[in-house]
Amino acid sequence: MSKLLIVGTVAFDQIETPFGKTDRILGGAATFIGLSASNFSIDAGIVSVVGGDFPLDYIKLLNDRNIDTTGVEIVPDGKTFFWSGKYHNDMNSRDTLITELNTLADFNPIVPEKYKDAPIVMLGNLHPSVQSAVLDQMTETPKLVVLDTMNFWMDVALEELKEVIKRIDVITINDEEARQLSGEYSLVNAAKKIHEMGPEYVVIKKGEHGALLVHDGKMFYAPALPLAEVYDPTGAGDTFAGGFSGYLAKTEDISFENMKNAVIYGSNLASFCVEKFGTERMLSLTKEEVTNRLHEFKILTQFEIELT
Ligand code: AMP
């Protein structure tokens, strides 16, 4: 079975949107990536850290979706990473209210032996030094390394982030963050600048406006499925990354053409994530729903114009 190594936060989130406010619920970049990638029947393993306050039921919930958590360290007297955010009325922008690193502050990741030769590595959002430390432990050079990050790390660990970006193949980043990282407003110019920092492929996520894949002067754009109701966008970016990397792990084809499909799979899965709070929708997702929505995606983007 194809292996996918996932790194990222496993967290408690507290979310406020115009539809309501949650208590501390299950969240974290690696959680959303794992749940999304689990739709591809691959061997996905997470490297992360949580505290003794993290319910074992949450770990079981990941295991029940065939996500391997042997690389998730539990620090008995530590506290789990906590993030709290509040969305504006348009749901496209949000304010981070609290980021408590807790056990993540001095986390030394240990990659389980079994995943040291994973062909696809998904470096989800967390400290760039941890992302680097994971790459250092790979015994086989991965076929593809995908990295996701956010403005928080650009603010507090820019040099470490630039170092790890030199070592990766694909970066997935949202539009605002692409502008911050590159200093360019135009997303085409931003992608060009980020490409010069290391990655061959740049994927810019534009929330409800879809995702743009840029490589070697070529571009591919996938819209987001227009949805009547968006309850909570938290984790949509990570769900996209999980769908993107999960599909590539499943197919082991890292050509530009296949990456276009990966962008579609990522967008498709992310469209479910936003329909309920936190991980709720991803936990109830069925294969049939995924396939049906892929059909909708196809219809949405297909047209026939005869070019002379
Ligand atoms: P997204 O909405 O895709 O940007 O991801 C939201 C998820 O990222 C939440 O579940 C948070 O727990 C997690 N998160 C928020 N801030 C950070 C951070 N600085 N590093 C890693 N994960 C984070």
Rounded to the nearest angstrom, the distance between the alpha carbon of 32 and the centre of ligand 1 is 9
Give the ligand 1 atom nearest the CA of 125.
21
Distance 302 CA to ligand 1 centre (A): 33
Q: Locate tokens 């690193």: which residue?
A: 101
Residue 134: the pLDDT is: 98
CA of 13 relative to ligand 1 center, distance in Å:
8
Residue 308 has a pLDDT of 80
pLDDT at 17: 94
pLDDT tens-digit map of 145-193 = 999 999 999 999 999 999 999 999 999 999 999 999 999 999 999 999 9
DSSP label at residue 176: H
What pLDDT, on the 0 to 100 scale, is given for residue 90?
Answer: 84
Query: Which residue, by CA, sits nearest to atom 13 of ligand 1?
Result: 28
pLDDT at site 116? 98
Give the pLDDT of residue 305.
Answer: 92
DSSP 106: G
pLDDT for the residue 172: 98
From 13, 17, 150, 203, the mutation candidate for ligand 1 (largest count of ligand atoms within 8 A of CB) is 150
Counting Cα atoms < 13 Å in the Cβ hemisphere of 124 gives 35
CB 271 within 8 A of CB 300: no
Q: What is the pLDDT of residue 228?
A: 84
Q: Give every residue of the chain whose pLDDT is below 70, as ranges.
A: none
152 Cβ inside 6 Å of ligand 1: yes
CA of 236 to the centre of ligand 1 (A): 10
Tell me the Cα Rg of the chain. Answer: 18
> How high is the pLDDT of residue 208?
86
What is the rounded distance in angstroms from the CA atom of residue 308 to the CA atom of residue 305? 9
pLDDT the model gives residue 112 = 98
The arrangement of secondary structure in 3-301, i.e. its CATH architecture, is 3-Layer(aba) Sandwich (3.40)
